[in-house]
């Protein structure tokens, strides 16, 4: 036979190092990524062809069966492993037993090693031949014409068969260290199903535990289970990063959403809302209906935002890049961040005003007055406590939310137990109805203060939800805390206030004041925590230990200016709540609709690159947000200096009292923005999801290039 037949097929594909260099030289744009993917696909096809050619050549050499042919196969295998070629095949051990006897004997050896009572057979003092490498493939005695198979070999001595051949551990084909990052990119979980997905990290963890030796379990640390959340290997101070929360740390159950928001809804905030509504002149039934509608809309928009956080493990304003574009999102995100600062200051103003009334502080300029000193000290304690909780974030903040929620519910139960017999619910329901325009306006204001103030934080407190948590359960638990609890507390507070029996038990005032103080600290901490995440989404990446004191002092300064220089701070806060609500409502409409249309998780890499699936700017949604905001101001009247131009569309319509009373422009802004993705965005979203799924499928196909799969 011609000697050229003993040469293995020539290599067609590039080496791993060459592929790495080619990928490193690729342009970081859409065209470069496409070229890189085409290169990888081509190399994958060439390597498949090489495997088929090499397999055919090996079969041909084994069919020939001559020592020269088998030596060629051996040297080809050694060349793939980076070993030097051999001049001749190693000598084989004579008198090898049939394979069945070998298996039986090895089983006996294993059984004898597993049984301590059996004494090992003494090894003969014979020098053992050692070969450089094991013989690849089937034993040569099956092919060699020089060997006679021993059909009836009764006993095979262990030293002859097992120990006469030294076994050299064969390492898998090495891959360049520079390639590790690309391996991880290919193995990254870039897309997962929206519901019921089992993460790759969880599967790896299970495999590691199953394959671990028994001794390895002695060092396992058992993490105590928690009824609502399970924080795995998380430090006391949470590290804020603009990336998805590691899925091994995303162990929170859907019920954790109830505890996360109970600190807000189970506090005295619903009672404060009830007190405000009682001054509007609505009847009890109208007031309860208005509050219910307001908190229902609020709870739904916040819970849907939490659903997005569950899918991605990312903060709200970073996810907002999907509907608006990576750079186009800067405009609404900046507005929402400023609004977050406003609401943080409003929370502190409310707490300081409550303290001012309790301490009977008439003039804030009397610095030497004892009660004034108490008020200033209380302000510092409030802001310091909130800053501290916001710095810790994560586990510490969650426990504080749980504790404050439980305290608030306990205070509400005590209030009900003491005052349950002080009014007649039947008399309250029998009151004649008042203006329904006012009732609708109260519902809208509730939506502004309660829903739109927190919708930009919906995903911020859901980033550690497990990816296999049910979406319906996430929304359900959130709605329970955000809708049911505040409706019950506010309804009872309305009944108590409407019958002028709020002072039946004087000690309740101190109990309510204490609950308001600690809940105010936690609510303010939640707002500060969300503010830092908003700044990160805008590119201002500060550590919590730096960012939170700066934000806290800014909020304290805004609150101080409001109390000192604004005569009617409540009216000012209410008017600016409407102003802030309009752009937030327009943003929320687009964001919520975008979440509900999507069926798979976000592509995290594309959220940080303008050439990704979400592009730099989504001009349709960005323009729609601006138009919806303008329409909201056009239908809403704001009675503040500098805002006399508002209501310019309502001026052209009839029934001016309706537009001035209901603040219906906020609803119009939200509704118009909500319809925009439904009318114009579905094809774009489905195309994005198809591209994400396609690149995910391509990633799986390309894993074989780097030995990640068989």
252 three-state secondary structure: strand
Q: Does 512 map to a domain?
A: yes
Question: What pLDDT score does 648 carry?
Answer: 92
- Radius of gyration for the chain, computed over Cα atoms and rounded to the nearest angstrom: 36
| Range 46-53 average pLDDT | 84
Total number of domains in the chain? 1
More confident residue, 268 or 587: 587
What are the DSSP E strand ranges found in 198-244? Answer: none
Evaluate whether 391 touches 544 at the Cβ level (below 8 Å).
yes
Beta bridge partners of 252: 465
Question: What pLDDT score does 224 carry?
Answer: 36
Q: Does 456 map to a domain?
A: yes
pLDDT tens per residue, range 137-167: 444 444 443 344 444 444 444 444 333 333 3
The enclosing domain of 470 has a CATH number of: 1.10.4160.10
Q: Does 294 map to a domain?
A: yes
Evaluate whether 707 touches 172 at the Cβ level (below 8 Å).
yes
pLDDT tens per residue, range 456-485: 898 888 888 887 888 888 888 988 999 999
How many beta carbons lie within 10 A of that of residue 643, not counting itself? Answer: 16
Q: Does 332 map to a domain?
A: yes
How many beta carbons lie within 10 A of that of residue 480, not counting itself? Answer: 18
Q: Which of 596, 576, 570, 562 is nearest to 676 (CA)?
A: 596
| Range 593-607 average pLDDT | 88
| Range 107-126 average pLDDT | 51
Q: Does 193 map to a domain?
A: no
pLDDT tens per residue, range 438-454: 999 999 999 998 888 89
How many beta carbons lie within 10 A of that of residue 90, not counting itself? Answer: 16
Q: What share of the chain has pLDDT > 90, as a percent? A: 25
Question: What pLDDT score does 249 carry?
Answer: 60
* Helix ranges (DSSP H) in 423-484: 425-429, 436-446, 471-479
Q: Does 578 map to a domain?
A: no
Tell me which residue range forms the domain holding 480: 256-569
pLDDT tens per residue, range 67-88: 888 888 888 888 888 788 888 7
pLDDT tens per residue, range 484-494: 999 999 998 88
Q: Does 421 map to a domain?
A: yes
Q: Is the pLDDT of residue 46 over 80?
A: yes
How far apart are the C-alpha atoms of 352 and 563, rounded to whole Å?
Answer: 8
Average per-residue pLDDT in the chain?
Answer: 77
Q: How far is CA 144 from the centre of its chain?
A: 63
Evaluate whether 285 touches 461 at the Cβ level (below 8 Å).
no
Q: Does 407 map to a domain?
A: yes
Torsion (CA) 430, 431, 432, 437 in degrees, nearest 10: -120
How far apart are the C-alpha atoms of 606 and 82, rounded to whole Å?
Answer: 40
pLDDT tens per residue, range 373-390: 888 888 899 999 999 999
């Amino acid at each position: 036979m011609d000697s050229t037949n003993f040469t293995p097929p020539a290599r067609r594909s590039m080496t791993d190092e060459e592929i790495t260099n080619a990928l490193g030289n690729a342009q970081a744009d859409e065209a470069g990524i496409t070229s890189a993917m085409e290169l990888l696909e081509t190399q994958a096809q060439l390597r498949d062809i090489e495997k088929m050619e090499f397999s055919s050549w090996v079969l041909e050499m084994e069919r020939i069966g001559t020592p020269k042919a088998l030596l060629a196969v051996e040297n080809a295998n050694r060349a793939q492993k980076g070993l030097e070629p051999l001049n001749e095949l190693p000598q084989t051990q004579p008198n090898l037993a049939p394979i069945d006897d070998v298996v039986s004997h090895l089983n006996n050896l294993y059984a004898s090693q597993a049984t301590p009572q059996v004494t090992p057979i003494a090894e003969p003092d014979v020098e053992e031949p050692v070969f450089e490498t094991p013989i690849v493939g089937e034993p040569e005695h099956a092919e060699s014409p020089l060997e006679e198979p021993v059909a009836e070999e009764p006993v095979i001595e262990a030293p002859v068969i097992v120990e006469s051949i030294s076994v050299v551990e064969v390492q898998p084909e090495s891959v360049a260290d520079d390639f590790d990052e690309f391996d991880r990119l290919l193995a990254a979980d870039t897309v997962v199903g929206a519901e019921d997905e089992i993460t790759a990290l969880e599967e790896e963890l299970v495999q590691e535990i199953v394959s671990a030796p028994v001794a390895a379990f002695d060092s396992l640390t058992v993490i105590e289970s928690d009824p609502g959340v399970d924080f795995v290997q998380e430090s006391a101070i949470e590290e804020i990063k603009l990336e998805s929360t590691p899925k091994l740390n995303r162990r929170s159950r859907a019920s954790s959403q109830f505890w996360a928001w109970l600190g807000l809804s189970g506090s005295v905030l619903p009672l404060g809302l009830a007190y405000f509504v009682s001054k509007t002149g609505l009847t009890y039934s109208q007031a309860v209906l208005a509050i219910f509608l307001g908190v229902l809309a609020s709870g739904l928009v916040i819970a849907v935002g939490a659903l997005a956080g569950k899918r991605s493990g990312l903060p709200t304003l970073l996810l907002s890049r999907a509907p608006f574009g990576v750079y186009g999102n800067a405009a609404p995100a900046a507005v929402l961040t400023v609004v977050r600062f406003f609401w943080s200051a409003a929370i502190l103003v409310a707490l300081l005003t409550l303290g001012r009334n309790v301490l009977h502080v008439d003039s804030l300029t009397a610095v030497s007055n004892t009660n004034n000193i108490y008020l200033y000290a209380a302000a510092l304690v409030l802001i310091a406590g909130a800053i501290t909780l916001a710095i810790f974030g994560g586990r510490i903040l969650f426990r504080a939310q749980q504790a404050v929620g439980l305290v608030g519910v306990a205070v509400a139960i005590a209030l009900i137990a003491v005052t349950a017999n002080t009014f007649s619910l039947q008399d309250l329901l029998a009151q004649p109805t008042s203006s329904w325009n006012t009732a609708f306006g109260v519902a809208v204001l509730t939506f502004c203060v309660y829903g739109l103030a927190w919708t930009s934080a919906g995903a911020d407190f859901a980033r550690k939800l497990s990816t296999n948590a049910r979406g319906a359960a996430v929304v359900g638990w959130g709605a329970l805390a955000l809708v049911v609890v505040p409706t019950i507390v506010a309804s009872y507070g309305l009944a108590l206030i409407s019958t002028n029996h709020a002072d039946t038990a004087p000690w309740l005032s101190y109990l309510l004041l204490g609950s308001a103080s600690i809940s105010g600290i936690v609510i303010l901490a939640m707002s500060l925590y969300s503010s830092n995440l908003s700044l990160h989404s805008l590119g201002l990446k500060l550590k919590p230990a730096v960012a939170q004191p700066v934000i806290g002092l800014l909020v304290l300064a805004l609150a101080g200016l409001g109390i000192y220089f604004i005569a009617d701070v409540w009216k000012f806060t209410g008017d600016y709540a409407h102003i802030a609500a309009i752009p937030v409502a327009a943003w929320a409409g687009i964001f919520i609709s975008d979440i509900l249309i999507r069926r798979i998780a976000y592509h995290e890499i594309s959220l940080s690159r303008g050439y990704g699936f979400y592009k730099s700017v989504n001009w349709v949604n960005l323009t729609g947000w601006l138009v919806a905001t303008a329409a909201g101001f056009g239908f809403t009247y704001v009675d503040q200096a500098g805002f006399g131009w508002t209501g310019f569309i309502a001026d052209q319509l009839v029934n001016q009292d309706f537009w001035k009373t209901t603040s219906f422009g906020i609803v119009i802004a939200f509704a118009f923005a909500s319809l925009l993705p439904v009318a114009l965005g579905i094809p774009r979203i489905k195309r994005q999801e198809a591209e994400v799924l396609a690149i995910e499928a391509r990633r799986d196909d390309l894993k074989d290039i780097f030995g990640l799969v068989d």
